Amino acid sequence: MNTDLLKYSGQGGCSAKIPPAKLEEILDRLPVAVDRDILVNIDTQDDAGVFRISDDLALVLTTDFFPPMVSDPYEFGEIAAANSISDVYAMGGTPALALNIMMFPSSDLPVEVLAGILEGGFDKASEAGVKIIGGHTIDDPVPKYGLAVTGFVKPQELITNSGARPGDKLILTKPVGSGIILAGHRLGMSDPRHHEEAKKWMKTLNAAGAGIMKRYGIKGATDITGFGLAGHTLKLAKASNVSANIFMGKVPIMEGTLGLAELGCIPGACFTNLEYAEKETYTDPQLDYNLRMIAFDSQTSGGLLISAPSGTADEILADLRKEVSLVSSVIGEVTTRREKLLYLSI
């Protein structure tokens, strides 16, 4: 019996999300709950919902799950858990509790595979200080895994999509390119070293970056996942009623990504994300086509995009490079609302 999880998945990780244009169409039809203690709902398409339970405490609630993007069950569990927990970090919260969400082909895969996925999720959640206290499993032809996570945040420390302000610098904490690297691996095109590096980044929690955001009182941020760097930056700009400039020459990119793109290894999710954002995006004609497509590459468990006031951006970047990664970089800036929401240049 073949236990390579990639054999059971066409699109894995966050590239399996419903296309952003279709998602917005669905969300526009949903009823919106109204309550004075709902601090964040679906209106701004934030990373999580937030409900105030007292003047000094609010719950951060999120869920995320997807099909495998790697072969190994334990690694799949680790990455899926890190991705689910990231939404709480992006909102300035402290993750605390979680429930497993599992779909599993019980007649096709041995129970040891299911156990391996859950073990990976448990260990990554434990690393984040999150206690998994239950869950739900159903039989399904394609394995899928993730978490429903609850965290806590002080209302005055809440970070949202709508908190970016003109003059802010945009800081990215992880490199992009995992979607292209994973697609290259499926096609036998990726260098194994680059594939291992991509998996390392996907397993890396955004905890340290979240701690730095809280230290400096950041108000605007998001994490970079299925809609790519460009798609999530556009959502940040739209929710904040600003425009954003991204300088692709300053964006940290995983080794091997550009080479694969130049060979034509550009996943379908890149084009789906581009289609969603194209009307609200200006692209400098001098920007290389492949760099442009990397901006729309779907990320799984990507980094934090932080909208940092210019007066503290250098200090924040120094702390990120010391406590998170040397690749953390200022990649753009926020301006007043212009004709387009997003501007991509070299």
Read off the CATH number of the domain in which 175 is found: 3.90.650.10
∠ at Cα 135 (14, 47), nearest 5°?
40
Q: Mean pLDDT score of the chain, rounded to an integer?
A: 94
Together in a domain, 196 and 329: yes
Structure-block tokens of residue 204: 């890396």
**Same domain for 62 and 103?**
yes
Number of structural domains in the chain: 2
Q: Is the pLDDT of residue 286 over 70?
A: yes
Cβ 293 vs Cβ 183: under 8 Å: no
Residues 113 and 201 in one domain: no
Q: Which run of H or of E encompasses 208?
A: helix 207-215
Q: Give 32's pLDDT tier (boundaries 50, 70, 90).
A: confident
Residues 150 and 167 in one domain: no
Q: What confidence tens digit (pLDDT) does each residue in 103-151 have?
A: 999 998 999 999 999 999 999 999 999 999 999 999 999 999 999 999 9
Which pLDDT does position 1 carry in this prediction? 47
Domain boundary (132, 157, 182) is at 157
Q: Same domain, yes or no, for 118 and 222?
A: no
| Residue 131 and residue 185 share a domain | no
74 shares its domain with 148: yes
Following DSSP, what letter does each residue of 126-176 receive, concatenated? HHTTPEEEEEEEEE-SS-EEEEEEEEEE-GGG--BGGG--TTPEEEESS-B
Domain coverage including residue 137: 5-157
**In degrees, to the nearest 5, what angle opens at C-alpha 129 toward C-alphas 164 and 195?**
75
Residue 186 has pLDDT above 80, yes or no: yes
243 contacts: CB under 8 Å, gap ≥ 6: 237, 334, 335, 336, 337, 338, 340, 341, 342, 343
* pLDDT for position 109: 92
In this prediction, residue 13 has a pLDDT band, given cuts at 50, 70 and 90, of low
What SS3 class is residue 340?
coil
Q: Are residues 221 and 168 in the same domain?
A: yes
Which of 131, 157, 183 delimits the end of a domain?
157
Residue 101 shares a structural domain with residue 15? yes
DSSP string covering 77-135: HHHHHHHHHHHHHHTT-EEEEEEEEEEE-TTTS-HHHHHHHHHHHHHHHHHTTPEEEEE
The mean pLDDT value for 277-295 works out to: 97
Same domain, 145 and 127: yes
Q: How far is Cα 266 from Cα 259, in angstroms, rounded to an integer? A: 11
Of 127, 138, 146, residue with least CA distance to 76? 146
Whether residue 263 sits in one domain with residue 146: no
Residue 270 designated active-site: no
Distance CA 5, CA 7 (A): 5
* Range from 9-23, 154-168, 242-256 carrying the lowest mean pLDDT: 9-23
What pLDDT, on the 0 to 100 scale, is given for residue 30? 76
pLDDT for 31:
78
pTM value is 0.94
The last residue of a domain, from among 139, 157, 175: 157
Does 220 lie in the same domain as 141? no
Question: Alpha-carbon distance 307 to 294, whole Å?
Answer: 21
Region 77-94: what's the mean pLDDT? 97
Q: Which CATH number belongs to the domain containing residue 105 in this structure?
A: 3.30.1330.10
| Catalytic residue, candidates 5, 9, 12, 14 | 14
Residues 6+ apart with CB under 8 A from 269: 11, 15, 179, 226, 228, 296, 297, 298
Binned at pLDDT 50, 70 and 90, residue 23 comes out as confident
Does the pLDDT value for residue 16 go beyond 80?
no
